[in-house]
Amino acid sequence: MKFNQFAFHTPDLATQISELKQLRFLPADFTVTATNPTTLWLHLLQQTQVQALTPAGKKAAVAEYLATPTTSVPEFVNRHAVDATAFYTVALQLLGFEHGEDFTIGDPFPAMNRFHLPYHSPLTTTSDVVTAWYDLLNTFTKGGYVYLDHLAAAGYFHQFDNLPQPLFFNGKAQPVFATDNLVREVVYVESDLDTDHDGRADRLKTIIIRPQATNQGIQVPVVFTASPYNQGTNDAAGDRMMHDVNVPLTKKPVQALTYTDIAYQAPTVPTPQKTVPTNTVTAATETFSTEPSVKLNEYFLARGFAAVYSAGIGTKDSDGVRTTGDPAETAAAVAVIEWLNGNRPAYTDRTGSTTITAWWTTGNVAMTGKSYLGTLATAAATTGVDGLKTVISEAAISNWYDYYREGGLVVAPGGFPGEDADVLAEECFSRQKTANDYLHIKKYFHEQLAAITAGQDRTTGSYNAFWDARNYLKDTAHITADVLIVHGLNDQNVKPVHAYNLWHKLAPLSGNRKLILHQGQHIYINNFQSLDFSDMMNLWLSHELYGIDNGAPQLLPDVLVQDNSQPATWHTFSDWGGKPNQTLYLGEKQLRTQRQLQVPVASFTDQLDPVDFDFYTHNLDQWENDLLTLKTTKLTSQRLVFLTKPLQQDQYLQGLPQVSLHVASNQDIGLISCMLVDYGTARRLKADPTPLRGFSIPYGYHWQNNQLHEFTLAKQPSSFKLISRGHINLQNRTNLWQADPVEPGSFYQVDLSLQPAYYHLLAGHQLGLVICATDMPMTIRGNQGITYSIDPSKSHIELQMTPFH
């Protein structure tokens, strides 16, 4: 149990006092000189007992805390002045730590040091008490959220009339807004698109949840999530469309191409017919009851932000068709932001002419959400649309080619072999759920779906105009929003390269960029005990959308990385990647710092007997284990392993591992997969965070909450862990679009980047490079009898690796 708080700063005493007065912890006439420190402490403690509705009750409640091993708080203050030991002994009880288990009554500091909790010692003056209290309100409870959030959930803010709204403390918006009377509205934003080719501009259903206080004149900023999923998904239909991945690799016609040959050219489309508005209203005529749940948005709803959701073209109750990541889909998300900023009309229904304005917002927008949701946040940012101040892109795609393809190959998002752009289009086409709507759009949509199937081109796997249209990285120069990237280093679905490439594209821009890399797979991280993620986002959005001068750009680390070797440990860095500083040469089963000449060529054949092949296609985890383990398995002869010597000291491996192989195939086709592996016996973090029973993070007073989680070590040690993988078609040695010839038996130098890493290698472990062909969970699986040969003496890997302190 360790707490890592970054959205935490201690301002000067005058600011502390002013903010504590605003919170009503200090009376309006408070002065340091007129107040006894012990009396102040007792007063503050009583204020925390929100459940007690009388002064006598508050007093009695405080008497249940021990100030020393044998003295309750009132007994203590009768005889002593407050000191740091008493203050923090009580503080740990307030913060929900268990005496006797987590800490010892009367000896709080060893536990606080162990937990990384801030404290002030010595503590003697009234100023000391003020400062210590100020920081205590910002300090994490055992439940993984700050103490002031605990008090807020107990009703602290809701006992006062006339609190300022919004209210900021320590630079962060506080949950002072009622959430039991939120306004829920539906509007239909008119876009410039006509993706369903009916001649009318596509209207986009947009739902709004805003504090009731906006009806009393407060204007609020917006957290906006574009989620193609939130009007429902066609799971069964999508499953039926899944492509067979047990298909052979085939030869691509040899063809020399430049990027210009395949670059996406936006087609000229006729402007669709726009509605002539007849009148404008301020109240919607449609409402809703159950909203999509994006926890981060719920957190902000209590804090003076509106939440807006739109599912986009081709979703239920909207016009248009699904296009899976093309510019039209981006434009649909952008249209909502334009409406929020008064630059585009919305209508009260899908067909009428009554417009409705977003009069309740300041127009300042942040986009949020994970995966496809975060992807559309990134996409919207690349347009530079007015009002979009920042995007929080979590586990987001930055280039759809990197999602469904790699190195001239069809490579699946982990967990979804056989999925492709067309499958996703079908899955998200929730207009299908409305029977009458579907009746009229069905034919056209299926034509469009067929065009996606053709455009994505599973036959070659090459980069083409279809994919170029869906590559946001080529448009990053237009980004004006600040960008905060969150990505899992173990995300095999949206792989880390998406975050890496976006991060580097942002470097030359003038905006702020921040990066958080965690040890999760494809998950949200706003429920971790060890990290103040929600507070960081609060600091960020209070700064970005409310313009609060809270130092967010400086306080938040540029690059924050969760350590893979121990729980609850986060490191800060200034960048990710950079030039490789170490070359490891392939030797005979070795990775060496010196090139070895005269190494025999190593070969393997990529074919399993049909029974084993069938077994492994249904047991992909087993396949990965059997491929990577150093023990002998049915896959041992299917791959080559090259190992370093055991490391003398801990190392941090980061950035893009670059592999260069001298390789031959015995046929006129071939693919190579490389895995970088940490070999060494250790208890490693489990793949998924563990729910911490009995703890949940409250987002306000009688409002939503979030089950607390933390990555914990597996009970049993494991002997290796995959760090990174990469794939290439031997015909794509030159680039992703050109098809080179492969002569059977001829050796070629093939360069490929593996997925970027930030990996803590422990002393005594060995770094391994595993080379194989078919990567069962990822590539197509031809089970073809192709023999590959590697010349180690002409092969190497380049890494950035630095000693870890």
Q: Which of 28, 236, 597, 611 binds a copy of itself (CB under 8 A)?
A: 236
Q: Which of 522, 709, 765, 796 is catalytic?
A: 522
Q: Which stretch binds a copy of itself (CB under 8 A): 111-119, 414-422, 693-701, 756-764?
A: 693-701
**Cβ at position 425, least distance to a copy of itself in Å:** 17
Query: Is 243 among the residues known to form the active site?
Result: no
Contact between residue 32 and residue 124 where contact means Cβ atoms under 8 Å apart: no
Site for a copy of itself in 406-465 (CB under 8 A): 432-439
CB of 413 to a copy of itself, least distance (A): 18
What residues from 75 to 104 belong to the interface with a copy of itself (CB under 8 A)?
93, 98-101
Could you tell me the smallest distance in angstroms from the CB atom of residue 84 to a copy of itself? 18
Return the number of the residue (63 or 269) whose C-beta is nearest a copy of itself: 63
Q: How many angstroms from the chain centroid is the CA of residue 136?
A: 29
Question: What three-state secondary structure class fits 680?
Answer: strand
Rounded to whole angstroms, how far apart are CA atoms 733 and 737?
10
CA gap 90, 87 in Å, rounded:
5
Sign of CA dihedral 617, 622, 625, 630: negative
CB contact at 8 A, 136 and 94: yes
Q: Which of 10, 22, 36, 285 is close enough to bind a copy of itself by CB under 8 A?
A: 285
Three-state DSSP state, 566: coil
For the chain, how long is the longest CA-to-CA vector? 91
- Out of 5, 38, 174, 233, the only residue in the binding site for a copy of itself (CB under 8 A) is 233
Binding of a copy of itself at residue 284 (CB under 8 A)? yes
Note whether 750 binds a copy of itself by CB under 8 A. no
- Is residue 694 at the binding interface for a copy of itself, with CB under 8 A as the rule? yes
Considering the complex, state which of residue 66 and residue 653 has its C-beta at the smaller distance from a copy of itself.
66
* Upper half-sphere CA count for residue 802 (Cβ side, 13 Å): 12
Residue type, 222: V
C-beta neighbour count of 101 within 10 angstroms? 8
Q: Which CB sits closer to a copy of itself, 203 or 725?
A: 203
CB 73 within 8 A of CB 83: no
What is the per-residue burial (b if ≥16 Cβ within 10 Å, else e) of 67-97?
A: bbeebbbeebbeeeebbbbbbbbbbbbbbeb
- Gap between the Cα atoms of 122 and 107, Å rounded: 14
Distance of alpha carbon 534 from the chain centroid: 12
- The nearest distance, CB 115 to a copy of itself, in angstroms, is 16
- Identify which of residues 156 and 788 has a Cβ nearer to a copy of itself in the complex: 156
Q: Is 154 in the site for a copy of itself (CB under 8 A)?
A: yes
Among 78, 125, 279, 287, binds a copy of itself (CB under 8 A): 287
Binding flag, residue 698, a copy of itself (CB under 8 A):
yes
Instruction: Confirm whether 9 is a catalytic residue.
Output: no
Concerning whether 371 is annotated as a catalytic residue, the answer is yes
**Nearer to a copy of itself among residue 169 and residue 229 (C-beta):** 229
**Residue 153 CB, nearest distance to a copy of itself (Å)?**
6
- What is the C-alpha separation between 113 and 531, in angstroms, rounded? 16
Paired strand residues for 54: none
Least distance to a copy of itself, CB of residue 526, Å = 19
Beta carbons of 590 and 643 less than 8 angstroms apart: yes
E-strand stretches of 551-670: 559-562, 570-573, 582-586, 591-592, 602-605, 640-643, 651-665
Cα four-point dihedral sign 764, 770, 776, 777 = positive
Contact between 768 and a copy of itself by CB under 8 A: the answer reads no
Q: By rule CB under 8 A, what string of x and - marks binding of each residue 39-78 to a copy of itself?
A: -----------xxxxx-xx--x--xxxx--xx-x------
Which residues contribute to the site for a copy of itself (CB under 8 A)? Answer: 50-54, 56-57, 60, 63-66, 69-70, 72, 93, 98-101, 105, 153-155, 180-181, 186, 232-233, 235-237, 284-290, 349-351, 432-439, 693-694, 698, 701-702
Question: Which positions are catalytic?
Answer: 371, 491, 522
